[in-house]
Amino acid sequence: LNDMVKGFEAGGAKDKFHPEAYWDYGQWSIGYGTKSHKGETITKAGATKRLNEELAVAAKAVNKYNKTYKWKPHELDALTSFAYNVGSIVQLTAKGTRSREQIAAKMLEYKRATVKGKRVTLKGLENRRKAERDLFLNGYPKPPAVAKR
């Protein structure tokens, strides 16, 4: 989950890390996409620590629905990534009333951001939602088989 989110939250940085705060569609972000303020700087270690703290908050919010859904680990990770990026899964799950299939379909709708006052579809958000949906539905990729000699 950590590596997946780091990849999506790179903010365009070459090595997938931003040591200085950058404007990110309505808020200041830093490091691996964590909340920030203008002028802030951070180390990779500090950014990883902050990311883990914010992912823990998102996971806690997803776990509020565990009694209803009994999330599998891959579903929890996919929804934690989603909640970290969007803010919650309350609307996505319709307060716990949607089926898993409905949740998976709805995930793909969260692909827009406000740019210069207009709501636009962002390719990066489309790609992220597809990856989260794939993880949610199909689980973790299987490692390649090792050929026997």
Tens digit of each residue's pLDDT (9 = 90 or more) over 77-115: 999 999 999 999 999 999 999 999 999 999 999 999 888
Q: How far apart are CA 31 and CA 119, in angstroms?
A: 25
With a CB cutoff of 8 Å and minimum separation 6, the contacts of 113 are 25, 26, 119, 120, 122, 125
- Closest residue by Cα to residue 92 from 43, 119, 83: 83
Whether the model clears a pTM of 0.85, i.e. scores above it, the answer is yes
Tens digit of each residue's pLDDT (9 = 90 or more) over 122-145: 998 999 999 999 999 999 988 777
